Amino acid sequence: MALKGQSTKASYLEWDSMLVLLQKLERDGLYKFELLFAVGCYTGLRIADLLKLRWKDVLNQETLVLVEGKTKKIRKIRLNPSLVEIIIRLHDKMKISDNSELLFINKTRTKAINIQYVNRKLKEIAKTYNLQIPLNSTSSHIFRKTLGRHVWAVNNYSEKSLLLLGELFNHSSIKITKVYLGIKQEEVADVYLQL
């Protein structure tokens, strides 16, 4: 997490690379981290909010409703059908019997995994699966940034998509959203060359 006024330099994955990674994590039995990447990238939730989720919040649900920890605002997120399929499939593979259990529970099944563990594991995953991202900027922000970059790209790098992302990320201006996503002025200028 960046301090106030400090920019975040976290990496992001191209959407297709993230989808391939999900398949590889499932193939290798890393279900918890497949679930973390899937829920994180499809919802854009902050890691602290992800770690509070329970199976009953997402399993067989069309909409996820939660109070965001940082903003204390009620957030309603329509769950993408692809994400719903992943959740159902992993629920079965992980043999979950108690749907009130945390999605990202620790080994002793007493509380959620912690953010430091998540960040360490993400660096391991990046190295193991040869992800094209710098290890020193691999952190739990990867989920939100992957979603943000994907939304921006799918919407032809439009200002409107940045406004929507600013609303989604609760940013006070488009400038903050651009900095958050690591959008450089050259990338914005390139948009005009593609017209």
According to DSSP, residue 136 is labeled G
Which band of pLDDT confidence, cut at 50, 70 and 90, is reported for residue 185?
low
Q: Which residue is listed with tokens 């679930």?
A: 35
Residue from 15, 183, 163, 12 nearest 83 by CA: 15
Question: Do residues 25 and 37 make contact, with C-beta atoms less than 8 angstroms apart?
Answer: yes
pLDDT of residue 189: 67
Residues 6+ apart with CB under 8 A from 85: none
pTM, 2 dp: 0.89
Task: Take residue 117 and report the two structure tokens written for it.
Answer: 């563990």
Residue from 139, 102, 114 nearest 12 by CA: 139
Average pLDDT for residues 56-78, to the nearest whole number?
95
Average pLDDT for residues 111-127, to the nearest whole number?
97
pLDDT of residue 2 exceeding 90, the answer is: no
Which band of pLDDT confidence, cut at 50, 70 and 90, is reported for residue 5?
very low
Average pLDDT for residues 4-11, to the nearest whole number?
57
Q: Which residue has the higher pLDDT, 117 or 5?
A: 117
The Cα–Cα gap between 61 and 49 comes to 17
The string of pLDDT tens digits covering residues 139-182 is 999 999 999 999 999 999 999 999 999 999 989 899 999 888 88
